[in-house]
Amino acid sequence: MNTKLVTIFGGSGFLGRHTVRALARAGWRIKIATRHPARGFFLRPLGTVGQIDFVKCDVADAQSVAAAVMGASAVINLTGILFQKGQTFEDVQAQGAANITQAAAAAGVTALVHISAIGADGESESEYAVTKADGEKAVREGFADAVILRPSIIFGPEDGFFNKFAGMARFLPMLPLVGGGHTRFQPVFVGDVAAAIVTVLTSPAARGRTFELGGPSIYSFKELLQMILREIGRRRLLMPLPFALASLQAAFLQLLPNPILTMDQVKLLKKDNVVAPTATGLADLGITPTSVEAVIPSYLWRFRAKGEYAADLPNMTA
pLDDT of residue 85: 81
Among 71-80, 184-193, 258-267, 283-292, name the one with the lowest average pLDDT.
258-267
Residue 308 above 80 pLDDT? no
Q: State the pLDDT at residue 82.
A: 87
Count Cα atoms within 13 angstroms, Cβ side, for 286: 8
Say whether pLDDT at 292 is over 70: yes
pLDDT at 5: 96
Q: Please state the domain extents for the chain.
A: 5-145
Query: Which pLDDT tens digit goes with each residue over 29-73?
Result: 999 999 999 989 999 999 999 999 999 999 999 999 999 999 999
Residue 178, pLDDT > 70, answer yes
For the stretch 67-118, pLDDT in tens is 999 999 999 999 998 888 878 999 999 999 999 999 999 999 999 999 999 9
Whole-structure pTM value: 0.93
Does residue 139 register a pLDDT over 90?
yes
Residue 309: the pLDDT is 63
Q: What is the pLDDT of residue 83?
A: 86
Confidence of residue 259 (pLDDT cuts 50, 70, 90): confident
Amino acid type, 235: R
* The domain made up of 5-145 is a member of CATH 1.10.4080.10: no
